[in-house]
Chains A and B, each alone.
Chain A
Amino acid sequence: MKNLTFSEEHRHWLTKRRRSSALVWGLRIGLLVLLLLFWELSTRFGWADAFLVSSPSRMIATVGTLYREGTLFYHIGVTLLETVIGFAAAVILGCAAALLLWWSDLLRRVLEPYIVVLNALPKIALGPLIIIWCGTGSKAIVFMTVIVGIIIVIMQMLTAFLATDKNKLLLLRSMGANKFQILKKLIIPSSLASFFSMLKVAVGMSWIGSIMGEYIVSRAGLGYLIVYGGQVFKLDLVMTATVILCLLAAAMYFFVALLEKILVKNADS
């Protein structure tokens, strides 16, 4: 460790910094524990009706039941697969569309108002159409996930492509670069940071899409459990599925953040 060469003051500063970060983490976890404890106790002491608000212990029991029935991982798997496929498709198709719009100025100017309108349209309005076009299976849910996510992918990536430093473009053109070289050497690498911030937004969008899709059509998945639980007034099931959803969404977000940490090393000046 370099620590030995640091001054007393600097070591003190480092300790203080470590302590303050430990404090933040401690408080974060403490808050969660406190919340769960309060929730549990308020149902035990009858301050709140466990039938209406469920409770941590009842949720654990529900997870146990689902596990024993063998449906826990089935439902998680269905939703996760739909979300990930929809997410990947939205990102790939959206980036391809953004590249096309960057490449052709005419195309971009022609399609701009259509994209704006599609962005403003609440995608849930397309529900009936999707059922008729794609049926009531996973295909419809993936389709819903894609249309919820793709517009934001296109808009964010196009903005990033168009925001490329004018002087760097000038530099490449003065070297005689063609459009494909400009794309490969400058536009794509300089948009990497924006790509990851777009991915983080797209993660959230694809969960919205897949759960919305399951609300409309599904026979399996976490969204289905939530709707079903609501219909038969099994709020334990609703709460359990929601919490699992939280965990999955967080995991996916952190996976993207980790990928960013590994790949975006020298993007900042």
Chain B
Amino acid sequence: MKEKILTFDDVKLIYHTARGETVATEHLSFSVEEGEFVAIIGPSGCGKSTLLSLAAGLLSPSEGSVRCLGSIGYMLQRDELFLWRTIEKNIFLPLEIKKIGSEETRKRARELAIKYGLGDFLDSYPSQLSGGMRQRAALIRTLAAEPDVLLLDEPFSALDYQTRLNVTKDVSDIIRSEGKTALLITHDISEAISLADRVIVLTARPAHVAHTHILGFSETDPLRRRENQQFSGWFELLWKELNV
């Protein structure tokens, strides 16, 4: 059996505001194995982003524990590229922050960018790139520090539909070919089905795991999966489970 690289064990998280407290999650337990692509879907407002903050170690659980055996890379809804930096300098950002910027790590990051079609844009500024290219640059930035786990917070939701399908395929190809472990959080059922190996369905607040499904597709290409017979079956099932 593969190693469990990220584990949530009976996690409870309480949010405090001046008006009162909200229990965001309770009895939340699941784990992600090395090399696995897991998607988490849940009804809106179930605290999906909270979950990623917990996984990234930016929040500590009120009860229970979150264990991550490796380093994480966080990809947000928008590309969040720094407009005053060139694409290359944006990609080097995690290297600077983690103080691991060396000739070698920079070279590897640059090669990654070239490999995935950003070679001609390294000296461009983000404003000169299309939305899809920018999101691709954001992924390369996330990968530059060689994280063990990728946390994806609806990374395609800010894109228009056509770009979205293309970027989803891009990101899927890159993550698969780099052999990364990924945890995707989304409200988009078809996105979860087209990307993941396993889908976890959360309940409404306080969120915990309602169902887990191993999808069992033979192909990983998100566009091909959408044509697959099983796709609509999974969609119907997950749709029902979200709307109980």
Cβ proximity bits B110-137 to A, threshold 8 Å, 1 near / 0 not: 0000000000000001110000000000
Q: CB distance B82 to A174 under 8 Å?
A: no
Stretch of B73-81, B159-167, B168-176, B213-221 contacting A (4+ beta carbons < 8 Å): B73-81
Residues of A near B72 (CB, < 8 A) are 174
The distance from the CB of B149 to the nearest CB of chain A, in whole angstroms, is 11
> What A residues does B82 contact at CB under 8 A?
168, 185-186, 189-190
Pick from A62-70, A86-94, A175-183, A212-220 the stretch touching chain B.
Answer: A175-183
Are the C-beta atoms of A175 and B145 separated by less than 8 Å?
A: yes
B98 within 8 A of A: yes
B151 — nearest CB in chain A belongs to which residue? Answer: A174
Q: Given that A172-B97, A185-B97 are contacting pairs, would A266 and B76 also be in contact in the complex, using a CB cutoff of 8 Å?
A: no
Q: Are B98 and A192 in contact (CB under 8 A)?
A: no
A136 CA / B184 CA spacing, docked (Å): 69
Measured between alpha carbons, how far is A192 from B82 in the docked complex, in Å? 13
Q: A170 to B127, Cβ gap below 8 A?
A: no
- Interface pair B84/A175, CB less than 8 Å apart: no
| Nearest CB in chain A to that of B127: its residue | A269
Q: Which of B77, B78, B127 contacts A268 (CB 8 A)?
A: B127
Over the window 184-196 of chain A, the binary record of Cβ atoms lying under 8 Å from chain B Cβ atoms (1 yes, 0 no) is 0110011010000
- With a CB–CB cut-off of 8 A, which chain B residues contact A171? 74, 76, 80
Are A167 and B58 closer than 8 Å at their CB atoms? no
Give the interface centre of A168, A170, A173, A174 by most chain B CB atoms within 10 Å.
A174
* CB of B143 closer than 8 Å to a CB of A: no
Contact residues in B for A189 (Cβ distance below 8 Å): 82, 84
Q: Inside 8 A of A173's CB, which chain B residues have their CB?
A: 58
Q: How far is the CB of A60 from chain B (nearest CB, A)?
A: 47
- Given that A267-B83, A269-B126 are known contacts, is A185 also in contact with B96, CB under 8 Å in the complex? yes
Of listed B56, B74, B84, B145, residue having the most chain A CB within 10 A:
B84
Q: State in angstroms the CA–CA spacing of A167 and B84 once bound together.
A: 16
**CB-CB < 8 A to B127: which residues of A?**
266, 268-269
Given contacts A174-B74, A185-B97, contact A266 B84 (CB under 8 A): yes
Q: Give 7 A-B contacts (CB < 8 Å), ordered by A residue.
A: A167-B78, A168-B80, A170-B58, A170-B74, A171-B74, A174-B56, A266-B83
Which residues in A have some Cβ–Cβ distance to B below 8 Å?
Answer: 165, 167-168, 170-177, 181, 185-186, 189-190, 192, 266-269
